[in-house]
Amino acid sequence: MKIQESAENYLETILILKERNGEVRSIDIANELEFSKPSVSIAMKNLRANGYVCVDENGYITLTEKGSAIAETMYERHKLITKWLIFLGVSPEVAATDACRMEHVVSAESFEAIKRHVEENNELNGV
The pLDDT of 32-36, averaged and rounded, is 95
pLDDT band at 121 (very low <50, low <70, confident <90, very high): confident
What ranges do the domains of the chain cover?
Answer: 5-69, 76-120
CATH 1.10.10.10 describes domain 5-69: yes
Distance CA 86, CA 105 (A): 19
Q: Rounded to an integer, what distance in angstroms lies between the CA atom of residue 63 and that of residue 70?
A: 10
Res 27 pLDDT > 60? yes
pLDDT at 120 over 90: no
pLDDT at residue 1 tops 80: no
Class of domain 76-120: mainly alpha
User: Do the two domains 5-69 and 76-120 of this chain adopt the same fold?
Assistant: no
pLDDT for 126: 61
Q: Please give the model's pTM, rounded to 2 decimal places.
A: 0.87
pLDDT value of residue 90: 95
**pLDDT for the residue numbered 2:** 56
Residue 47 backbone zone (phi > 0: left; psi -120 to 50: alpha; other: beta): alpha
In tens, the pLDDT along 43-100 reads: 999 999 999 999 999 999 999 999 999 999 999 999 999 999 999 999 999 999 999 9
Could you give the percent of the chain with pLDDT greater than 70?
96
